[in-house]
Amino acid sequence: MRVIVVTGMSGSGKSTAVRALEDEGFYCIDNLPVRLFKRFVDLIGKSGESFKGIVLVADIRGREFLKGYKSAFQKISNAGHIIEILFFDAVDEILMRRFSETRRRHPADESRSVSECIRIEREHLSGLRQMATRVIDTSEFNVHQLKDFILRVARGEESGNPLVIEVQSFGFRYGIPLESSMVMDVRFLPNPFFVPELKSASGLDDAVREYVLDNVVTAQFLDHFFPLLDMLLPAHRQEGKSYFTISIGCTGGRHRSVAIAEATGMHLQTLWPSVRIIHRDIEKGNQ
């Protein structure tokens, strides 16, 4: 039986990972007492149910877990099960921001600040982190990227280090996407918003796409932009990066950025197997 232990820092994306694994066909259980780990694995293994494996979620919430995980893992391994320990982490600034956004109470909260709780949690989990089969830093992942990454790990597709590329359009008036690896500002291109018959359309419509792309300035820009990407992306893959997010922005995120993101995605899809195109603000940009 394949047993995956999901653990790590609070706010690092464990819940998102578990939901993805559950959808993939794993039996997932959260915060089970550590003394029941092996018994539970044995019961599921003998149940006759068809699962791809078991996911045990355990972290600082279980004080008993922190004292007994080494023995529990050894017993599971000795019983012939394949055990993997996925330790989820993120830089402190990201963890603090996530707690600020959700207003959740940190599980290590003992009337201390969030930053102090994170420090304490790191100390308690340091030994577990060293034991981990894989440490997954989610600092630069959005929810969709993390889910895709976990599914690739679960399916064994991550060993070859394929680079997953996300091309997204956005509007500067709504903020720059925090997960961006690269931000390209295309507000210098002619704006269809000021053409009455094009204002209500988007960069997905032929008329807007032709207005943006059939322009000398756009052609000159793409002649430089595409070769830049063709040079950068292999270098980032060589450095071990798993995701690269190209954020292309215009004022409202509906016309120019959408057309350029589509053209960029089409160019990259001829060279890379995993390219995803999204338009974050396409509906907002017509308001």
Domain ranges within the chain, ordered by starting residue: 2-155, 164-286
Q: pTM (2 decimals)?
A: 0.63
Q: How far apart are CA 242 and CA 187, in angstroms?
A: 29
Q: Is the dihedral of CA 213, 183, 89, 104 positive or negative?
A: negative
pLDDT tens-digit readout, 73-122:
999 999 999 999 999 999 999 998 888 776 677 887 767 788 899 999 99
Which of the two residues, 214 and 287, has the higher pLDDT score? 214
Domain 2-155: which CATH number of 3.40.50.10710, 3.30.390.30, 3.40.1410.10, 3.40.50.300: 3.40.50.300
User: Could you tell me if 280 and 253 are in contact, meaning their C-beta atoms sit under 8 angstroms apart?
Assistant: yes
The Cβ-side half-sphere exposure at 166, using a 13 Å CA radius, reads: 26
How many percent of the chain have pLDDT more than 90?
Answer: 66
How many whole angstroms from its chain centre is CA 127? 25
Q: How far apart are CA 30 and CA 18, in angstroms?
A: 9
Given this model, what pLDDT does residue 132 score? 92
Which residues partner with 56 through β-bridges?
5, 29
Q: How far apart are CA 2 and CA 84, in angstroms?
A: 8
Mean pLDDT of 225-241: 88
